[in-house]
């Protein structure tokens, strides 16, 4: 079932990958480095934002958080027998990049920021389907005005298509509007930290309208119908690089058994995503 923004975006990115992960519960063949690295940077940034209310962490303390998160990820990858593919990178190169990124982040964040909370659980019912998730950061800007922030680490600047069409701001703005009881002002911003040699920190404010919400409802309905009807075509493209199921996906039908659709909106065995 489509139960979160992550699942929705996973289905839209590649339905076959969605099926491997959420329907078949197939073991991952590898742990993507961008995911591990992004999570470790994210953890360090979250810790910094939380520390603003007391004593802001210095860069070495932020690096401690990064090291801890990377160490945990390596252990988890070993436990899952899904090794991290470091490709050309060495852990030392990555650590040095992480430090440069975190320094840029520290400089770009106003230390007087009033962070309400990080990693806030949200729930939003759209077209009868309940979506859960976590909002990265909620900032109180005073006078009943709030800003939602979603942190991204990226190899390059965010594409205009993501800024214009990503469903995440639509979901989070609506969930926060309901959660906060309709505040006077509510904004959504991406904070993008680039993994370039000289990292950049960009704040990109995006707006969404009632029309975007209507489109979201339609997209969720369509994706849910696809899941229920077992429609999981491959979507070959950039998403195949580093895919955790690339080996399984190679054979003509993967290794999955052909799906038997037993009726409209039903799947044999009752499995759902
Ligand atoms: S390898 Fe590509 S097409 Fe196959 S599941 Fe992964 S992302 Fe989808």
Say how many Å lie between the CA of residue 99 and the centre of ligand 1.
Answer: 32
pLDDT in tens, 96-143: 999 999 999 999 999 999 999 999 999 999 888 889 999 999 999 999
Cα(154)–Cα(199) distance, rounded to whole angstroms?
10
Cα(61)–Cα(47) distance, rounded to whole angstroms?
9
pLDDT in tens, 17-39: 999 999 999 999 999 898 999 99
Residues in the ligand 1 pocket, defined by CB under 6 Å: 14, 16-17, 234-236, 239-240, 243, 245-246, 249
Q: Whose CA is nearest to atom 5 of ligand 1?
A: 17
Structure tokens at 106: 């520290």
Say how many Å lie between the CA of residue 113 and the centre of ligand 1.
Answer: 41
Cα(214)–Cα(170) distance, rounded to whole angstroms?
10
CATH assignment, 5-222 = 3.90.320.10
Q: Give one DSSP letter per residue of 5-74, joined into a string.
A: HHHHHHHHH-HHHHIIIIIS-PPPS-B-HHHHHHHHHHHHHHHHHHHTTSS---HHHHHHHHHHHHHHHH
Q: Rounded to whole angstroms, what are the CA distances from 81 to 74, 243, 254?
A: 10, 15, 20
Pocket mutation for ligand 1, best pick of 18, 35, 232, 234 (most atoms within 8 Å of C-beta): 234
Q: What is the pLDDT of residue 261?
A: 45
Say how many Å lie between the CA of residue 248 and the centre of ligand 1.
Answer: 9
Ligand 1 atom nearest to CA at 234: 3
Q: What are phi and psi of 47, to 5 degrees?
A: -60, -40
Say how many Å lie between the CA of residue 250 and the centre of ligand 1.
Answer: 8
Taking the domains of the chain in order of start, what are their residue ranges? 5-222
Is residue 196 within 8 Å of 178, Cβ to Cβ?
Answer: no
Q: Whose CA is nearest to atom 7 of ligand 1?
A: 240
Is residue 146 within 8 Å of 183, Cβ to Cβ?
Answer: yes
Cα(90)–Cα(86) distance, rounded to whole angstroms?
7
Pocket mutation for ligand 1, best pick of 12, 17, 19, 24 (most atoms within 8 Å of C-beta): 17
DSSP-derived 3-state class of residue 159: coil
Q: How confident is the model at residue 90 (pLDDT cuts 50, 70, 90)?
A: confident
pLDDT of 214 above 90 = yes
Say how many Å lie between the CA of residue 112 and the centre of ligand 1.
Answer: 44
Q: Give one DSSP letter per residue of 196-245, joined into a string.
A: SSS--EEEEEE---HHHHHHHHHHHHHHHHHHHTT------SGGGTT-TT
Q: Give one DSSP letter per residue of 77-103, joined into a string.
A: HHHTT--B--TT--HHHHHHHHHHHHH
**Mean per-residue pLDDT, 248-252:** 84
């Amino acid at each position: 079932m489509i139960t979160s923004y992550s699942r929705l975006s996973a289905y839209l990115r590649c339905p076959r990958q969605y099926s491997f992960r959420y329907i078949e519960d197939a073991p991952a063949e590898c742990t993507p480095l961008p995911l591990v690295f992004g999570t470790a940077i994210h953890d360090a940034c979250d810790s910094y934002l939380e520390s603003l209310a007391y004593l802001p962490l210095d860069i070495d303390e932020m690096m401690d958080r990064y090291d801890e998160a990377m160490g945990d990820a390596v252990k988890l990858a070993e436990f899952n027998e899904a090794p991290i593919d470091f490709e050309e990178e060495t852990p030392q190169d990555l650590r040095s990049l992480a430090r440069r990124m975190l320094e840029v982040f520290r400089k770009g964040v106003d230390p007087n920021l009033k962070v309400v909370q990080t990693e806030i659980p949200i729930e939003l019912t759209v077209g009868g389907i309940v979506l859960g998730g976590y909002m990265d950061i909620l900032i109180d800007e005073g006078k009943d005005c709030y800003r939602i922030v979603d942190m991204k680490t990226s190899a390059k600047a965010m594409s205009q298509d993501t800024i214009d069409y990503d469903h995440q701001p639509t979901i989070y703005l609506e969930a926060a509007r309901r959660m906060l009881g309709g505040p006077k002002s509510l904004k959504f911003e991406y904070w993008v930290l680039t993994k370039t040699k000289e990292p950049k920190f960009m704040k990109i404010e995006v707006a969404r309208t009632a029309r975007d919400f209507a489109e979201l409802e339609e997209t969720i309905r369509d994706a849910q119908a696809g899941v229920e009807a077992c429609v999981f075509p491959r979507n070959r493209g950039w998403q195949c690089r580093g895919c955790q199921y690339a080996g399984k996906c190679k054979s003509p039908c993967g290794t999955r058994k052909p799906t038997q659709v037993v009726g409209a909106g039903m799947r044999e065995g009752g499995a759902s995503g």
